[in-house]
């Protein structure tokens, strides 16, 4: 990629920061730490709009361009770090598009492989993780029509990190709109982590539209799973040094409920620190956003650091989980879903008898890392028990879809299904 193109892309991403502030401007009164839910004070709103632009641009400079991202060496073809896995070679999309799915949200999608091949929807994780081109490499490009969709508020979907009308069942409806838009009658669903959750939710709502399910790193979004990960009830015992960094982003007097404390910061409420802020509008907005970025990075890096059996170096986080753009969408959307029990009516909803009965006929493969700390194996075990006709494969790996052992089993599954008739 040319340097000028890279700078333009990075600058466009940085402009999402002031845009996020502007989208939130009607949520604040002049009293720090308080929120209002109307836009009656038009004079204040115009001040916040202006302040949002200035503060956001200042923060865009604060989170400056990654010099490595703009290096002239980028024009050289990089070595494929996944070449030693069973993944197919890198692909280019044959079609990219956007679909307006609500008055607020526009969803970005891309298609890879064979336009006349077997349709498969690749459901990304998070929520808020967005898609990457490497996700298309689990499938034979000669056999599959591979559809990648960025869910609301993340990836290339707009508006950035927006939480309004952003729920599990909004995404289920979006997938149906994408399916109809692309003229697809049925498709395979392929998803891991949150992608397994959303795939199951979609399949329960639309079982007649699914040919197969390929699921990895099962996440049923139960209270015990969330507390294991985010409340110091399990994962912290295995990665104590990384937990400390997650813990230190929250003052000691708020550590009885980490998800709630993070929510206050990620939603721009600042928690207890907000009570002592200056009422200067510009400083107030900058303080809010710096606190938001700090919390977003701590939340995001915690998950990134514990996602593999063999940890990536800390430096590798800087271009992925610690990237401002990624972390803000990832952390805000994840926290929004998790503090609302992912909008399911009951704990354990996905494996209730009446729900699994709707999908029991769908051929299902489950791939689970034995040492997955993000989504422990108990959830895959419980899903397999609820769906006894499913296949389950445990591998000696962690959580990431791109660990060699997980890749091998996922590709086996897609190979198995590629010629299967619905």
Catalytic residue among 372, 390, 397, 400: 372
Helix or strand run (H / E) with residue 289? helix 281-305
How far is the C-alpha of 208 from the C-alpha of 210, rounded, in Å?
6
Pairing mode of beta strands 144-149, 210-218: unpaired
| Cα 56–chain centre separation | 23
For the question of residue 102 being annotated catalytic, the response is no
The span from the CA of 310 to the CA of 409, in Å, is 18
Determine contact, residues 410/216, Cβ cutoff 8 Å: yes
| Partners of 259 in beta bridges | none
Q: By the 8 A CB rule, do 120 and 146 touch?
A: yes
| Residue 279, number of CB atoms within 10 A of its CB | 9
Residue 193 falls in the annotated catalytic set = yes
Cα separation, 152 vs 290, whole angstroms: 24
Query: Of the listed 63, 157, 193, 397, which one is catalytic?
Result: 193
Active site residue: 105, 336, 384, 399, which one? Answer: 399
Q: Is 343 left (phi over 0), alpha (psi -120 to 50) or beta?
A: left
**What count of residues does the chain have?**
422
Per the CB < 8 A criterion, the answer to whether 7 and 70 are in contact is yes
324 is catalytic: no
Annotated catalytic residues are 193, 372, 399
């Amino acid at each position: 990629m040319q340097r000028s193109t890279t700078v333009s892309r990075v600058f466009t991403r940085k402009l999402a920061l002031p845009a996020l502030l502007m989208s939130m401007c009607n949520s604040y009164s002049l009293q720090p730490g308080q929120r209002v839910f109307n836009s009656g004070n038009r004079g204040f709103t115009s001040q916040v709009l202006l302040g949002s632009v200035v503060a956001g641009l200042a923060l865009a400079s604060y989170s400056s361009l990654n010099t490595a991202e703009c290096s002239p060496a980028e024009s050289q073809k990089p070595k494929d770090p996944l070449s030693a896995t069973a993944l197919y070679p890198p692909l280019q999309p044959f079609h990219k598009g956007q679909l307006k799915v609500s008055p607020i949200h526009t969803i970005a999608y891309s298609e890879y492989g064979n336009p006349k091949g077997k349709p498969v929807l690749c459901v990304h994780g998070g929520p808020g993780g967005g898609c990457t081109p490497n996700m298309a490499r689990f499938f034979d490009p000669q056999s599959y029509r591979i559809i990648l969709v960025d869910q609301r508020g993340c990836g290339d979907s707009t508006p950035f990190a927006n939480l309004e009308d952003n729920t599990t069942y909004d995404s289920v409806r979006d997938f149906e709109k994408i399916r109809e838009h692309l003229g697809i009658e049925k498709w395979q669903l392929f998803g891991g982590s949150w992608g397994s959750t959303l795939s199951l939710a979609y399949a329960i709502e639309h079982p007649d539209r699914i040919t197969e399910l390929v699921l990895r790193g099962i996440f049923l979004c139960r209270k015990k799973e969330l507390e294991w990960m985010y409340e110091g009830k399990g994962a912290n015992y295995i990665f104590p040094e990384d937990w400390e960094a997650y813990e230190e982003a929250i003052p000691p007097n708020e550590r009885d409920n980490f998800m709630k404390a993070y929510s206050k910061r990620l939603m721009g409420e600042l928690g207890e620190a907000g009570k002592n802020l200056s009422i200067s509008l510009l400083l107030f907005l900058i303080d809010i956003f710096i606190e938001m970025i700090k919390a977003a990075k701590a939340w995001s890096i915690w998950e990134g650091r514990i996602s593999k059996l063999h940890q990536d170096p800390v430096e590798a986080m800087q271009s992925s989980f610690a990237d401002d753009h990624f972390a803000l969408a990832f952390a805000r959307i994840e926290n929004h879903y998790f503090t609302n029990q992912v909008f399911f009516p009951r704990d354990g909803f996905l494996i209730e008898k009446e729900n699994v009965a709707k999908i029991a006929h769908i051929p299902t493969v489950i791939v689970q890392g034995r040492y997955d700390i993000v989504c422990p194996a108990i959830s895959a075990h419980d899903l397999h028990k609820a769906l006894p006709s499913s296949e389950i494969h445990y591998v000696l790996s962690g959580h990431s879809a791109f660990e060699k052992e997980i890749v091998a089993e996922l590709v086996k599954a897609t190979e198995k299904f590629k010629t299967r008739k619905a």
